Amino acid sequence: MGLDSEPGRRKASVRRPLPLLQAIVFVLVITCVVVNFSYFSTRVEPLGPRIALSKTQHAMRGFVVPMFDAMIPIGVSLIQELRRYGNNDVIQVYHCLGELSPLSMQLLHRADDFIEVIDVCHEYVTQGNLTLEQAKDFRNFYIKPLALIHTRLEDVILLDADDILFSDPAALWDVPAYKATGTIFFYDREINENSYLNGKHRWTNDAGVDVEENTLQEMVRMFESERFGLRRNQPSDHVRNSLPFNSQGAHEQDSSVVVVDKRRHHIAMDVLWFLITAWRYRFTYSWGDKENFWLAYELSQSPYSFSPHGTSAAGGRQGHDVQTVCGDIAHFFPLDGRDDILHINGNKLINPYTKIDAVNGYDHSFQASKLTDLVANLPGYFAGLRRRGPTPIMQPNSSCPQECMYQRGAIAVTNAQRQSMVQRISDTFEVAAAVDRHVVVQQGVVLPIVTDADAARAVSSINQLRRVGYQGWVQVYHCAGNFPSHVLQTFVRIDAYVQVVDACQGFILNGNLTMDQIPDFQNSYLAPLALIHTSMSHVVVLNVHAVVLQDPTAVLWSDVLYSETGTVFFHDHHDATSKSFLNHPATYIDERGRSVAGTALEAVVHTFNYSKFNLDGPRTLSPSLKASRAWNHQSASRQDGSLFAVDKSRADKAMQVLWELITTTRFQHGYSKGAKENVWLAYELSQLPYAFSKFGASYVDGASPWTAQYGPAKDDELLVVMTALSDVASIDDLPANVCRRRLEGTTDDATCLDQHNEGAQRLTSSQVQALQVRWTVTSLWKPLQPPPPPVTVRRLSSKTQSRIIVRQLSKRAATDWFDHVFIVFNFIVILCQGRQAYEMLSTMVDPTKVVSYAAIVLLYSVLSPCLVFINNIQTKYTLVCYADALFSFTLSCGHPMFSVAIQALELIVVNPNLVRNNRWSAETLLFARLFGVTGPVDFFVKHVMHLSTYFTICRLANTAHLADSNKDQSSDLQRNHQNRVMRRLNLGVSSGLGVVCAILLGRCLLYREPCPSYCLSKMQPLMDLGCHCAYANINCHTLDIDDPTPLLDPTIIGTRLLSTILIDASPLKTIPDNVFNAWSFVQRLQLLNVSLTTFPNGILSMPHLTELNLRGNNITSMFPESAWPSPLTIAGLAGNGLKSVPWTAAKRGVNIDLSGNPIEDATTLDAAELKLVHRRSVILDDTPYCNVTQDTTCKYKCAPSCFAFMVGDYFCDLGCFTPACGFDKGDCDEFGFS
């Protein structure tokens, strides 16, 4: 409210507008637009079948945790710990060249669904980024930076598996330092020794002087910036101030937790690759990987952030020094103002295994009793919170080893922290016990997979094995590079007794295979390679194309042939006319040096290098071979490779020969179609007994006849069908007939399937069902899709699931429950809209906007109950959706947005000088109050209105879908009596409420008490008919009064809506306390030049006062500083008679202007007070302080009654209208002064 007391002291019109209020209005407009655009842009998906996707494939933030087998117990317990703290982000487990066994993979995937296991070395070797020998150098600490470079995640937190967490580390992504630089690094211990970054070297500089420098100084000097397109630069302030650079420490970073935003600073990742693949071999600068992260950012000239806190330790206090804590490294949460411990890097505190070397060596023997020892020896103290700084202790030091935080203080471990550590130890030992209980797999089924389609076939094969009663282990074999990890992980998730094994990687690491040989085994030769690799003794090798109709292990391992020879092989079909493979013509040199014309089989037998295996050679052929059709030139093949059984415990020599065949001999003689002939040949060449079933291969009808095998015993039923399911278009096209069993050597053709041939029989119903299930599973199963580019994971999935659940209920809600749901929802929304209209009447001053809003609410309250009387459900649903969407959007967003737009256009387009119009500003600020939340009820009302808009627009977008789904119910529906009564009651209540509100609105507008003429803006509260003035302009000259305070009586103009009072140049001398009581809602009070001699005590009763200006009075004393109103932030006391500075208030944050006061105590100031003066938080212009000290921060009067801030303040100040003051910089031009 503005009060002007002199005829010439009116407010000058503004020539240059202030942009603050314009900016506020702009922000309001844009905020409303953005919020409401989000409603319209919400995608509403129709109900329908969904394709199941990986739970992690869209994740772009998460954790990276390197592990190897010995770390599995603490690694799995770390995952459990993260989930216990409520974290649901993806966890990527990285390893290098098969460091995780099939058992470890299984334990990881059984522990959590949001896990990805990645062999980073294998992928880089396969892609050609690393050689195999280079990759082996990352089977240690250095896998962490390699994993950071490799991961597809963008927001990454690298964790050590032995981190013990005390809160969800995802909070690190919200730390301001991370948002500013995209990194958070943690400091290592302060260890003062001449090693690593502080290792000493001597070199001769350009001036020929021999100089000593440490490793960090040398690296900074020699870094090849040009390699990365950078200019050579000086080290950053962080480096220059670091302990290693100043030879006060050997280490800088601890990498137990590393937080990086990979979207930024790509050059840092390039430098990191350079460091871990090149410079790590040139300089000894880091114990393990830890220094590489911050160095990559430093050398790439990228910004980075370290924790503001120094390292802590978790352990016990030294007996002779209770302020020194020794133990495992720990870290506080990296934010000033927080003193909670984030984590301990405490391997020995929780590990059930014993570490036997500094890198990856562990004794895997498990003792459950160690749990008690670990719990009993938990740390009792943390080293205190502090900044990083040098230590006086030089290492090595036996009395204070490097694990000790010397004189850093001690903080006791809390009960909650202790319980968290106990839980972590318990989880770790539970996993270790599971590992210890695991029995080495002695027998099982091997399933080799080669192509993408094989993955689907393998899943259905496992499913079929379980259906026929096999419950043992299945090893799914692949060869390096066959499949991405997300496909292989599928197998571990579908069955608890499935292991995924890489047959090639182990042989590569041992040097038995080279990378160039890998393609030679990414085909059917994977089966014999898997047979050699598996540690199982009793093995059934099953082709993924085969459909088992009985448990093959039960049939084959119990057969007499297996017990006698340790093998069961099956015959393939024979073609006596074929001259290929085993029967392919070949010329070879026999053991006597003669050139012999024969077959490929004879060439293999007679030219094999028997001496290499200490064998006598082909002097004695086995009876089985001599009797075979292949040896007698009557067949091109002998063995069916779809199924066979081998006892490896009796086949050492055969496995050695098999390796020779598949790595060497196969390339000399083309004797086998695929790999199937190699296994029986290995037994034959190693002169070990082996056995074929006495029954020949059979046929099953189909587009082309399929191979089938009966069990080897006399009474065995059909055992397996070798399928071509991909050729079957429909389940109705599956085979129905099979040839009867026949002995090997009898006629081998498919004529038994002819329609009139008695050699065929119908498949049993169970056999047909097995084929149908296999076909269905194979057709429907899809492997997890590879991770596509960014979108977020889990939250998107849960949203989708929530929408599906809601929409599953929507059909019933649109029919049986429609009236109930609509009436309740509609009543709540109308009450909230009515409450908003009530607030607008109490706040806004523009009757057009207020009345239009209230009229829309009344119309909605009367119209909406009528809609439920429509009986046609489709018509009703459509009309309700349109009406709800229209009214909800109009009342929650449309009407306020339109009102804001009018205000904004008026300011921006019509008259920018409105920003200095007190009346317009008062009205605008009051209108802006409607957009804020004033209390819990207001919070509820506003959110209900916006949520109703969101839901009604979503429902409107989904109208067509639900209309289609409800076509069968679109006829007129008869409602029961209860529904009719409820609808009529709703109409009566809503209409009655609308009528009452309309009467109250008319009463409010037509029967209100008049306001005085100086009240230029007023509100119309619904229930209070008194005058409520929003802006009053009291001009003492025009009203011919000396004292304006009687006109401020709250019974005349009201009080609760006033926020600003300005009284200038009026000889009040004093103001009664009851007037201040009426101003309890005022936030800004300006009493300028009103001849006050004492400080009005009534000001102390103004609880909302934030700005006080008493310039130009005669006040000589202040009330006690302890009594100053707590919200007060600005106190203008210039031009009074005060002799002291209220320093306590100033130090509390109040900005105080004491210009022109005879201050006596300001000639000598302490450092804190001087800082306030220099910051102009305390202004002492034209005081003894400025006159004596000549402080450059002081500004001087240009005229006796003209302070510096009064010149050019857009108000005409006659005291400043002098040449020395630039004639008030034109503020008085509008009034004829020039």
Given a contact cutoff of 8 angstroms between Cβ atoms, the answer to whether 425 and 374 are in contact is yes
Q: What is the pLDDT of residue 1034?
A: 72
Structure-model confidence comparison of residues 1093 and 310, the more confident one? 310
CA–CA separation, 540 vs 4, rounded Å? 103
Cα gap 1162→1154, rounded to integer Å: 11
What whole-number percentage of the chain has pLDDT above 90?
Answer: 41
Joined tokens for residue 169: 């580390």
Mean pLDDT value of segment 728-751:
81
Q: Say what the pLDDT of residue 901 is.
A: 82
Amino acid found at 1232: G
Burial class (CB in 10 A: 0-12, 13-18, 19+), 86: exposed
Other beta carbons less than 10 A from residue 1230's beta carbon: 14
**953 has which bridge partners?**
none
Rounded to whole angstroms, the Cα distance separating 156 from 160 reads 13
Q: Work out the burial of residue 519: count CB atoms within 10 Å of its CB; fewer than 13 is exposed, 13-18 middle, 19 or more buried.
A: exposed
- Which of helix, strand or coil describes residue 647? strand
CATH 3.90.79.10 fits 1067-1195, yes or no: no
The tokens 């290499």 sit on which residue? 612
pLDDT band at 243 (very low <50, low <70, confident <90, very high): very high
Nearest by Cα to 31 from 896, 942, 936, 947: 896
- CB atoms near residue 948 (< 10 Å): 24
Contact yes or no for 734/565 (Cβ under 8 A): no
Both tokens of 882, joined, read 């349109």
| pLDDT level of residue 1055 (50, 70, 90 thresholds) | low
Q: 485-494 vs 452-467: helix axis angle to the nearest 10? A: 10
Q: Could you report how far apart the first and last alpha carbons of the chain are, in Å?
A: 29
Q: Where in the chain is the domain with CATH 3.90.550.10?
A: 61-299
Q: What per-residue confidence (pLDDT) applies to 818?
A: 53
As a residue count, the chain comes to 1234
Q: Tell me what the pLDDT averaged over the chain comes to.
A: 82
What does the block give as tokens for 440?
Answer: 């080495």
Q: Other C-beta atoms within 10 Å of 886: how many?
A: 15
Distance from C-alpha of 243 to C-alpha of 681, rounded to nearest angstrom:
69
For the ranges 355-359, 453-457, 604-608, the one whose mean pLDDT is highest: 604-608
Torsion angle (degrees, nearest 10) of CA 808, 811, 815, 816:
-20
Name which of 922, 924, 917, 919 is nearest 899 in CA terms: 924
Q: Is the N-terminal amide bond of 396 cis, ω within 30° of 0?
A: yes
| pLDDT > 90? residue 686 | yes
Q: Is residue 17's pLDDT more than 80?
A: no
What global pTM score does this model have? 0.59
d(CA 564, CA 557): 11
Report d(CA 822, CA 864) in Å as an integer. Answer: 9
Q: Rounded to whole angstroms, how far apart are CA atoms 1021 and 1102?
A: 24
Between CA 1197 and CA 243 the distance in angstroms is 52
pLDDT at 714: 77
* Percent of the residues in the chain that have a pLDDT greater than 70, as a whole number: 84
Report helix, strand or coil for 1164.
coil
d(CA 953, CA 935): 27
Q: Which of 440, 424, 439 is nearest to 352 (CA)?
A: 424
pLDDT tens by residue, 27-44 = 544 444 344 433 333 332
Give me the residue label for tokens 């399928």. 723
Distance of CA 183 to the CA centre of its chain: 16
Helix (H, G, I), strand (E, B) or coil at 478: strand
- Give pLDDT, residue 704: 66
What is the number of other CB atoms lying within 10 angstroms of the CB of residue 720? Answer: 24
β-sheet bridge partners, residue 464: none
Please give the sequence-ordered ranges of beta strands (E in DSSP) within 219-311, or none if there are none: 253-261
Crossing angle of the two packed helices 977-1006 and 847-867, in degrees rounded to 10: 170
Number of helices followed by number of strands (H, E) in the chain: 41, 40
Between 711 and 757, the higher pLDDT residue? 711
Angle at 726 between CA 721 and CA 732, to 5 degrees: 75
What is the number of other CB atoms lying within 10 angstroms of the CB of residue 998? 15
Q: How far apart are CA 534 and CA 512, in angstroms?
A: 15
Closest by CA position to 112, among listed 131, 133, 137, 93: 93
Could you say which DSSP state residue 413 is in? P
State the pLDDT at residue 310.
96
- In sequence order, which residues have a C-beta less than 8 Å from that of residue 786 and are 6 or more positions away? 57, 484, 486
Q: Which residues, listed in sequence order, are joined to residue 185 by a DSSP beta bridge?
A: 306
Say what the pLDDT of residue 998 is.
Answer: 84
Task: Indicate the DSSP class of residue 342.
Answer: E
Contacts of residue 758, defined as CB under 8 A and 6 or more positions apart, other chains included, come to none
Structural tokens at position 880? 């309700």
Helical ranges in 159-307 per DSSP H: 176-181, 215-222, 237-241, 266-274, 280-282, 291-299
pLDDT at 1111: 84
- Say which CATH architecture domain 443-572+637-651+688-778 belongs to: Alpha-Beta Complex (3.90)
The string of pLDDT tens digits covering residues 1161-1176 is: 766 788 888 889 888 8
Strand partners, 290: none
Q: What is the mean pLDDT of residues 229-250?
A: 93
Question: How many other C-beta atoms can be found within 10 angstroms of the C-beta atom of residue 1009?
Answer: 10
Provide the pLDDT for residue 786.
Answer: 52
Q: Which comes out higher in pLDDT, residue 1149 or 1073?
A: 1149
Question: By C-alpha distance, which of 891, 888, 893, 896 is closest to 949?
Answer: 888
Residue 574 CA: distances (Å) to CA of 676, 697, 744, 748: 14, 9, 10, 6
Range 85-94 average pLDDT: 95
Return the closest-CA partner of residue 292 out of 254, 330, 262, 259: 254
Q: Where residue 1065 falls among pLDDT bands split at 50, 70, 90?
A: low
> 959 and 1056 in contact (C-beta within 8 Å)?
no
Cα–Cα dist 656/897, whole Å: 82
Lateral strand order in the sheet of 567-571? 498-502, 473-478, 443-448, 538-542, 639-647, 567-571
- ∠339-342-344 over CA atoms, to 5°? 120
The most confident of 187-196, 619-628, 934-943, by mean pLDDT: 187-196
| Among the ranges given (138-147, 867-876, 1175-1184), the one the predictor scored with the smallest mean pLDDT | 867-876
Token output for 377: 């020896």
Residue owning tokens 């009876």:
623
Q: Is the pLDDT of residue 6 over 50?
A: no
DSSP string of 305-328, one letter each residue: -B-SSPPEEEEEEETTEEEEEEEE
Residue 113 above 90 pLDDT? no
Is the pLDDT at 796 greater than 50, yes or no? no
Residue that the structure tokens 């209020």 belong to: 21
Q: 805 pLDDT band (50/70/90 cuts)?
A: very low
Q: Which residues of 223-246 are buried (b: 16+ CB within 10 A; e: fewer)?
A: beeeeeebeeeebbebbeebbbbe
Q: What does CATH list as the number for 61-299?
A: 3.90.550.10
Across the range 773-785, mean pLDDT stands at: 68
- What would the DSSP string read from start to end of 34-71? HHHHHHHT---PPP-------SSTT--EEEEEE--GGG
